[in-house]
């Protein structure tokens, strides 16, 4: 593309897809939770987060009301000394950052059940936020069709029982790479996202060199 990575990200932030930005939504008292993928995912967070955090500052959200949750899924929680693997210290020092633990039942909240029978338990800190944002990349996924959208929250900050029940759907032959609209596992992920109340997604598309080719910012469904 003719734009630099920073220009691509800023263009996306300035042009939200299907989301009504207004003072009623944002403000000093609003609590914002942002999910960030753990160290196993190749997401250029140090490029993505600065324009997103600047936007939140510009619309009046205070630093102390922003929490970044590492979306580990069933992976081991990341200790604090590894947070620098995801974001530079000059960013993490200004915001609270915690790692999700899918087995800590005391920090999970039940939100209902999907049409496929998946019981939905989500991280309580994420649940308490007024605005819930997911950050990640969109790429082919071997059984979810594609990564991106609500996936980093629907899987990343939910309980083990939720994740295991969802992943059992991979036995369906339609749960395959590049399949989205009629992929039962991906449809279940979308339904989990609606139950846990994901508001916005900031997603990028990368080339093989992990350079940003495109960015999208808006409601998760329209981003996907």
DSSP string, the chain: --S-HHHHHHHHHHS-BS----TTT-STT--EEEEEE-TTS---HHHHHHHHHHHHHHTT--GGGEEEEEE-TTSPPPPGGGGGGTS-HHHHTTSEEEE--TT-GGGEEEEEE-TT--EEEEEHHHHH-SEEEEEEE--EETTTEE--TTHHHHTTTB-HHHHHHHHGGGGSTTS-TT--TT-HHHHHHHHHHHHHT--EEEEEEE-TT--EEEEEEE-HHHH-
The encoded tokens of residue 173 equal: 């032959």
How much of the chain exceeds pLDDT 70, in percent? Answer: 96
9 CB-side CA count, 13 A: 24
Does residue 42 surpass a pLDDT of 90? no
Q: Is the pLDDT of residue 23 over 60?
A: no
Residue 21: the pLDDT is 65
pLDDT of residue 24: 58
- The alpha-carbon radius of gyration of the chain (Å, integer) is 16
Strand partners, 131: 32
**Beta-strand relationship, 140-141 and 145-146:** antiparallel
Query: What is the rounded average pLDDT of the residues 42-47?
Result: 90
pLDDT at residue 31 greater than cutoff 90: yes
* Bridge partner list, 214: 205
Specify which residues 203 forms β-bridges with: 136, 216
Q: Are 21 and 59 in contact (CB under 8 A)?
A: yes
Mention every residue, 6+ apart, whose C-beta is less than 8 A from residue 60. 23, 26, 27, 28, 30
Please calculate the CA angle 155-15-1 and round it to the nearest 5 degrees.
Answer: 90
Q: In whole angstroms, what is the distance from residue 178 CA to residue 164 CA?
A: 21
| Poorest-pLDDT segment among 52-66, 98-112, 171-185 | 52-66
Per-residue pLDDT tens digits for 156-211: 999 999 999 999 999 999 999 999 999 999 999 999 999 999 999 999 999 999 99
User: How far are the Cα atoms of 7, 78, 219 from residue 14, in angstroms, in the given order?
Assistant: 10, 32, 14
Give the residue with greater pLDDT, 190 vs 79: 190
């Amino acid at each position: 593309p003719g734009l630099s990575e920073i220009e691509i990200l800023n263009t996306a932030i300035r042009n939200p897809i299907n989301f009504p930005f207004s003072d009623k939504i944002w403000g000093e008292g609003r609590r914002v939770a942002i999910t960030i993928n753990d160290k196993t995912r190749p997401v250029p967070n140090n490029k993505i987060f600065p324009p997103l955090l600047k936007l939140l500052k510009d619309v009046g959200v205070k630093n102390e009301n922003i929490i970044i949750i590492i979306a580990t899924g069933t992976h081991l929680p990341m200790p604090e000394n590894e947070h620098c693997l995801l974001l530079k210290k000059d960013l993490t020092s200004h915001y609270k950052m915690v790692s999700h633990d899918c087995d800590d039942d005391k920090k999970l909240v039940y939100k209902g059940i999907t049409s496929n029978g998946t019981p939905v338990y989500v991280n309580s800190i994420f649940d308490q936020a007024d605005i819930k944002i997911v950050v990640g990349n969109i790429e082919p996924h071997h059984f979810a069709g594609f990564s991106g959208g609500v996936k980093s929250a629907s899987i990343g900050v939910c309980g083990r029982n939720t994740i295991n029940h969802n992943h059992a759907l991979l036995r369906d032959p339609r749960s395959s790479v590049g399949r989205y609209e009629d992929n039962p596992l991906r449809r279940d992920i979308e339904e989990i996202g609606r139950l846990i109340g994901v508001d916005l997604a900031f997603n990028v598309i990368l080339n093989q060199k992990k350079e940003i080719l495109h960015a999208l910012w808006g409601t998760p469904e329209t981003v996907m």
